[in-house]
Chain A
Amino acid sequence: MTDATQAGSMVPAKSIISVDDRTKKRHAAEKRFQAYGIAAIATGVFFLIFLLGSILFNGVTAFQQTFIQVPIYLNPMTLDPEGNRDPAEMAKVSTFGYAPILENSMASMIEAQGIETDVEPDGLDALFSSSAAAQLRNRVLSNPDLLGQTIDFNILATSRVDGYFKGRVSRESIARDRSIDAEHLDIVDALREEGSVVKRFNLAFITGSDASESRPEQAGMGVAMMGSLYMMLVVLGLSLPIGVFASIYLEEFAPKNRLTDIIEVNISNLAAVPSIVFGILGLAVFIQFMEFPQSAPLVGGLVLTLMTLPTIIIATRAALQSVPPSIRDAALGVGASKMQSVFHHVLPLAMPGILTGTIIGLAQALGETAPLLLIGMVGYVATNYPDGIASGFMDPNSAMPAQIYEWAKRADPAYYERAWGGIIILLVFLFAMNAIAILLRRKFERRW
């Protein structure tokens, strides 16, 4: 015992309990490394929160819209000059014929509520959307008996008025604006106190069609959503079977030789090709050579299929590889053919992985804009709801990300808000798809 203490006191302290310098250094290095890691995560989380925050902050207002409730007297003299209540005859009065009716009704409402203003009736069109005339016309044409009555009509306020209630437009910012004056804002302030102008949830933003540049208040995402839906049907219908068959063959049947190696490498390469390249390919092959129609979701779907295929093939092969060889051996051992072992045992076990990969691939395709620019899906395109399955695939349409891009570049700042709102809708879809993928994996995945 004494020997040991003597020996210990002779050598400089090297107890395993007290930490020596080198260990301290190593521990410090580890602490530092952990701190770097936490800093990296914190940066990532910060940017994510910032991104989501700014999306919500900018976009959430797009889901609300300002409406004006106006009692409108439908004058039969101007709307049905022939007097026979025949919708075909009445259709000759265009929306331009309905605009004065709206202006005059608005003027009499303002007068009835005792609001004093210098604005002439024909200057009141700065308050309500030009979509109102078309809405009113449709209503009258579908029900000619309304003529001669006074109906309560809910019309959209213009984007300027709407922006005023949302804080985007102020009295200072419209100082040099040609389309609205401070006097107009006085009117809407007074009308709001009377309860005739209300801001409320706007379902039409989710279900509606695109609108022209002069009426952002009417624009909606609905038709572009249908375009995305039909594109996704094409992508799912083509890329899932093609991808699954290709990967089953490569994984289970193909001989391992140079050729299959080259194919494998190129599938991985294909997954990294920028999506715009697929757009150019689609333009050259599907539209110029095969003469498919421009702007059709079918073509968009075909292009996105090309883009998604590598993702699905890679995911499927990973899923097939994760099925243990013992399953195959057992199947083969009891006399199953190679094909029976694959289709009866390996594929069902790999299915959750395949579906997860497919859904992630679809989500990627859903958010893709670049290839769609080249095949004519950007512009004033998403205007008519398809009338059937065939027209859904063939008629010109846009897609959600293309619609967002289009809105973001329009002149009226109100479209900017709608672009952010569109992003929220798109994100909801993406989150939902990813959630389904995670659920499928959790529920069905088997571990060995």
Chain B
Amino acid sequence: MSIYKLTAASAAVMIAAAGPSLAQSRDNVQVAGSSTVLPYASIVAEAFGENFDYPTPVVESGGSSAGLSRFCEGVGENTIDIANASRPIGESEIETCAQNGVNEIIEVRIGYDGIVFASQIDGPEFTAFKPSDWYLAMASEIPQDGAMVSNPNASWADVNGDLPDVEIAAFIPGTRHGTREVFEEQVLLQGCEDIGAMQSMTEMGMSEDEAEEACMKVRADGAAVDIDGDYTETLARISSNPDGVGVFGLAFYENNTDSLKVATMGGVEPSVETISTGEYPVSRPLYFYIKKAHLGVIPGLKEYAQFFVSDDLAGEGGPLADYGLVPDPELASTQEAVANETVMGNGS
């Protein structure tokens, strides 16, 4: 083999590769963000590719924050069109977006996701959880007799006599996940308020912000383990620890009912029905955000967004609900907002 042939071949590869990159425009929708929204987005993308003449959109995962930060990198074909998020976009993120020229953002709420607590199928029964139990089990420090002491609870029975007497081993989402925020606010903070711990903290002279922070600060002595990966990692940890309790999305649990036993919260078992009625207390809305500047530039972007929130997909009995999404009762107004390209912050 001559070196000249090799050089020629490699030059050809380089030209073939680099040449069109400068001229070619993007013809597919690109989406990134929350791994909780990814399953729904992939179901929509697949159906979109089947029913429309546009190529199937590309959906990447990586977490809500990573997705939104890529979304806010700027406008242009080189940036993503849609960010999926399992929490609303934050003030600081909107500012970053604006600094990079992403001024008009369309917020689309696709429905609700339940957050469930589950243990190994052969493990002990956790049927009496209340948010306050989680606060008492997870907090780094709790108020006791007018002073903050580091959390003395070692077993679930210590926090609530109705719970089994097994060591506290909780696998909770890491701070990278949007789920963590919901867990902190709807479970820890709620529990903290419910049993008056927050009040005793303010009585001890803490400001409200400090008290909230203390309520949501998770112990670091090994009883609470942050999981930065996906739910499959939590499942693996639960499978190897019979006493472990993990935090999952409802859809993930429903796909793994053969290996997970769900825990009730406030006496209610999570399901699409109990979450949509609000009986089951821990749920959060799921969103995606569209760059308005890309509408009309990237082919199929608006069609994809409209298809996502159409009754066929996101409505009751649709494939998203089958997979575990709790349909949004206000879907009609969301559909209208997408059709009118209503951007955030206009009050319209």
Residues of A within 8 A of B (CB): 94-96, 130, 134, 137-138, 169, 173-179, 211-215, 233-234, 236-238, 240-241, 244, 287, 291-295, 298, 301, 343, 347, 351, 376, 378-381, 383-384, 389-390, 393-396, 406, 408-413
Contact = CB atoms under 8 A, between A and B. Distances in A.
Contact of B13 (A233, A347, A381): A233
Nearest to A93: B51
A394 B45 contact: no
A353 to B, nearest CB: 13
Contacts of B20: 390, 393-394
B58 A379 contact: yes
A351 B231 CA distance: 49
A244 B256 CA distance: 52
Closest 6 CB pairs of A and B: A237-B13, A173-B258, A379-B60, A380-B42, A213-B39, A212-B42
A291 B18 CA distance: 12
A294 B29 CA distance: 12
Nearest to B249: A411
Given A95-B47, A234-B13, A409-B232, A381 B255 contact: no
A211 B3 contact: no
A435 B221 CA distance: 51
Interface string B230-263: 1111000000000000000001101111100000
B199 interface: no
B6 A241 contact: yes
B270 to A, nearest CB: 12
Category for how many chain B residues contact A? 35 or more
A244 B3 contact: yes
A55 B343 CA distance: 50
B56 interface: yes
B59 interface: yes
B60 A376 contact: yes
Contacts of B3: 241, 244, 343, 347
Given A94-B312, A214-B39, A379 B256 contact: no
B224 interface: no
Nearest to A348: B1
Contacts of A294: 30, 60, 78, 80
Contacts of A409: 35, 229-233
30 contacts: A95-B47, A95-B51, A134-B50, A134-B51, A138-B50, A178-B271, A213-B323, A214-B39, A233-B13, A237-B10, A237-B12, A241-B10, A287-B78, A294-B30, A294-B60, A294-B80, A295-B60, A343-B3, A378-B60, A380-B45, A380-B59, A383-B49, A384-B28, A384-B56, A390-B17, A393-B16, A393-B20, A394-B21, A411-B255, A412-B255
A380 B6 contact: no
B295 to A, nearest CB: 19
B322 interface: yes
A174 B258 contact: yes
A358 to B, nearest CB: 11
A301 B60 CA distance: 19
Interface in B8-48: 9-10, 12-14, 16-21, 24, 26, 28, 30, 32, 35, 38-39, 41-43, 45-47
A238 B17 CA distance: 11
A395 B24 CA distance: 10
B340 interface: no
Given A213-B42, A393-B16, A383 B319 contact: no
Contact of B61 (A178, A379, A396): A379
B348 interface: no
Given A379-B61, A413-B256, 17 more contacts: A94-B312, A95-B50, A169-B258, A174-B257, A179-B254, A212-B43, A213-B43, A215-B46, A233-B13, A237-B12, A244-B6, A291-B78, A294-B78, A383-B58, A384-B56, A411-B39, A413-B255
Contact of B58 (A214, A298, A396): A396
Contacts of B41: 380
Contacts of B80: 294
B21 A298 contact: yes
B39 A212 contact: yes
Nearest to A138: B50
Contact of B38 (A237, A347, A379, A384): A379
Nearest to B235: A411
Contacts of A351: 1
A95 B47 CA distance: 8
Nearest to B44: A212
A137 B39 contact: no
A396 B30 contact: yes
A134 B319 CA distance: 14
A187 B87 CA distance: 42
A395 B28 contact: yes
Contacts of A406: 61
A137 B47 CA distance: 12
Contact of B45 (A233, A298, A383): A383
A241 B7 contact: yes
A380 B58 contact: yes
Contact of A137 (B50, B232, B251): B50
Nearest to B79: A294
A240 B10 contact: yes
A68 B16 CA distance: 44
B164 interface: no
Most chain B Cβ neighbours within 10 Å, of A240, A244, A381: A381
Contacts of A393: 16-17, 20-21
B55 interface: yes
Interface centre among B46, B50, B230 (most CB of A within 10 A): B46
Contact of A384 (B49, B254, B319): B49
Contacts of A174: 257-258
Contacts of A236: 10, 13
A379 B66 CA distance: 14
Interface string B260-279: 00000000000100000000
Given A178-B254, A179-B254, A408-B232, A389 B16 contact: yes
